[in-house]
Amino acid sequence: MPIDAPVVLVTGGAQRLGECIVRRFADAGWHVVIHCNTSRDAAEDLARELPSAEVAQCDLTDTGKMAEMVERLAASHTDWRVTVNCASVFKPDGAHALDPATNMRAMQVNARSPAMLAQAFLSGSRAASPRRVINVTDQKLANMNPDFFSYTMSKAAFSAASQMLAMAFPQDRITSLAPGAILPSHDQSEEEAEQSHRLNPLDRRTAASEVADAAYFLATGPVASGQHIYVDSGQYLCDQDRDVIYLAREDEDA
């Protein structure tokens, strides 16, 4: 059936921050394309909850399949006006021992593929300009530490790519959104997250809904291309020499 609502694609939209962003756009009346890879069941369950949604499954390491997904969506949705690059992998390795497999996957999923997806969307979407791309990065890039080395390297590459895309597509709006510590990650318990995620100047835990609200603002508000927004209760202003996961554990052991 024809879709009258504006269309947004959210990669990694079945779970975690991606799910929150999906729900924010759905609540505002958008048709949401929920991208997933291995979380097909969760994506389908989420789509059934929403008034207007569909699922697009694709492994972002397969750039051929990703290109086919973009081509299919561009052909079927005349008002596909926003893409949110939220999908990422977050695996531990360190500055003293980069793991080649971890690094290769991080660079592909977190940097190369979303940059290519943005290019394909901006080249293929039939929506009126300005189309908008929102690239989810990380506050770590301003508050650097050597933990999760390949992840941080890939997000740094993606941040640079976002700036260059903004220059290359001046008629559109390419922005980046840098969350802080929001949800339990890696091997954290909820209790550990509650402690570690308050290690910021406001001594508060940033809500996932705040990130979703920021994404919606970047998609609809008076935003210049190339803008970069932190949603982290000021964590990016800190000088933390380790990831907050480990800082909190060190405090407990002290």
254 within domain boundaries:
no
- Predicted confidence at residue 254, as pLDDT, reads 56
The vertex-180 CA angle with 177 and 182, nearest 5°, equals 110
- Predicted confidence at residue 119, as pLDDT, reads 98
Alpha-helical (H) ranges within the chain are 16-27, 40-49, 63-76, 100-107, 113-124, 149-168, 190-196, 208-220, 244-253
d(C-alpha 49, C-alpha 45), whole Å: 7
Tokens 């791309």 map to which residue?
Answer: 133
- Predicted confidence at residue 212, as pLDDT, reads 98
144 within domain boundaries:
yes
Got the DSSP string for 39-66?
A: -HHHHHHHHHHSSSEEEEE--TT-HHHH
Q: How do the pLDDT tens digits run along the chain, 254 residues long?
A: 568 899 999 999 999 999 999 999 999 999 999 999 999 999 999 999 999 999 999 999 999 999 999 999 999 999 999 999 999 999 999 999 999 999 999 999 999 999 999 999 999 999 998 999 999 999 999 999 999 999 999 999 999 999 999 999 999 999 999 999 999 888 888 899 999 999 999 999 999 999 999 999 999 999 999 999 999 999 999 999 999 999 988 877 75
13 within domain boundaries:
yes
58 within domain boundaries:
yes
194 within domain boundaries:
no
249 within domain boundaries:
no
pTM: 0.96
46 within domain boundaries:
yes
d(C-alpha 53, C-alpha 14), whole Å: 12
- Predicted confidence at residue 1, as pLDDT, reads 53
What range defines the domain where residue 44 resides? Answer: 7-184+206-238
Q: Looking at residue 72, which CATH number applies to its domain?
A: 3.40.50.720
193 within domain boundaries:
no
Total domains in the fold of the chain: 1
Compute φ and ψ for 115, nearest 5 degrees.
Answer: -65, -45
- Predicted confidence at residue 16, as pLDDT, reads 96
- Predicted confidence at residue 9, as pLDDT, reads 98
- Predicted confidence at residue 134, as pLDDT, reads 98
- Predicted confidence at residue 2, as pLDDT, reads 61
